[in-house]
Amino acid sequence: MQDPSAPSTAVPPLRLNALAPDFTARTTMGERSLSDYRGRWLVLMSHPADFTPVCTSEFVALARQAEAFAALDCDLMALSVDSLYAHIAWLADIDRRYGVRIPFPVIEDPSMVIGTAYGMVDADSPDSATVRATFVIDPDGIVRAISWYPMTVGRSVEELLRLVTALQTTDREQASTPAGWTAGAPLLEPAAVTLDEALAAEAGGQGWYTRERKS
Q: Which residues are catalytic?
A: 55
Q: Which of 101, 77, 95, 84 is nearest to 160 (CA)?
A: 77
Residue 55 CA: distances (Å) to CA of 10, 32, 43, 50: 26, 21, 15, 8
Alpha carbon 50 to its chain centroid, in Å, reads 19
Q: Pick from 117, 167, 179: which is nearest to 138 by CA?
A: 167
